């Protein structure tokens, strides 16, 4: 029973995003969707002594043009050094900073992409590798894209030979499950709750931060604080 999930790429996503990846056999990065401002596509949060702080990748947005995520270009190169500086300043006291920094720093400073989708996928793949997640990652444009919001998702799942479509709970507002059922595909709803707190720097615990927070604080023990990632 092959499980498939379909979701837009995020910048250094939170742990729930990687649990969703780990819960399925194939994860399709749905970057044929419209790019949305002030969203998770190009930014995420870290913890600092002053509270939560956004790390934002600058991008070129063409006014009201219907710009797909995959078409969105990164604006400049200095952001990578600035982000790495922020990560270093705020996590250098974390127990596993040095071990994580050894493989993460080259990912920030050693390569440069022109498009946001390329950057997001590279970082997602690297983090999956560190966590031991073996899920197949594909891009939505590797498949035929049909019209209709639910129809397109169901078609992608069918083309990937999926038997179950795993979706986040927010999609309950618009997904027509019958479209999937007509193709012989079962819809499963993924729940993000129930996470245990882990040792975390800087004040009250926060779940809604980049997974890098978990990695810096827990290293290989990060798997203990996730639901679908196996040690």
Name the residue ranges covered by the structural domains of the chain.
3-225
Q: Against a cut of 0.85, is the pTM above it?
A: yes
In angstroms, rounded to a whole number, what is the distance separating the alpha carbons of residues 42 and 26? 23
Residue 230 above 90 pLDDT?
no
Q: What are phi and psi of 96, to 5 degrees?
A: -115, 25
In angstroms, rounded to a whole number, what is the distance separating the alpha carbons of residues 38 and 56? 9
In tens, the pLDDT along 142-158 reads 999 999 999 999 999 99
Question: What value does the mean pLDDT of the chain take?
Answer: 95
In tens, the pLDDT along 75-106 reads 999 999 999 999 999 999 999 999 999 999 99
């Amino acid at each position: 029973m092959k499980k498939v999930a379909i979701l837009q790429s995020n910048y250094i996503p939170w742990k729930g995003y990687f649990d969703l990846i780990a819960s399925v056999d194939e994860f399709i990065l749905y970057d044929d969707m419209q790019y949305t401002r002030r969203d998770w596509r190009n930014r995420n949060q870290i913890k600092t002594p002053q509270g939560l702080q956004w790390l934002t990748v600058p991008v070129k947005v063409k006014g009201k043009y219907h710009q797909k995520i995959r078409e969105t270009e990164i604006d400049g190169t200095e952001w990578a050094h600035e982000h790495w500086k922020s990560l270093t300043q705020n996590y250098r006291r974390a127990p596993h900073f040095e071990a994580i920094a050894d493989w993460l720093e080259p990912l920030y400073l050693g390569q440069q992409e022109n498009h946001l989708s390329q950057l997001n996928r590279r970082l997602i793949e690297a983090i999956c590798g560190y966590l031991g997640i073996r899920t197949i990652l594909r891009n939505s444009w590797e498949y035929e894209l049909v019209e209709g919001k639910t129809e397109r998702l169901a078609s992608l799942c069918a083309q990937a030979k999926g038997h179950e479509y795993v979706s986040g709970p927010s999609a309950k507002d618009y997904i027509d499950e019958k479209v999937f059922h007509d193709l012989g595909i079962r819809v499963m709803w993924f729940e993000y709750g129930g996470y245990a707190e882990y040792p975390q720097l800087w004040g009250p615990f926060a779940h809604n931060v980049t997974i890098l927070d978990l990695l810096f604080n827990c290293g290989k023990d990060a798997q203990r604080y996730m639901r679908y990632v196996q040690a």
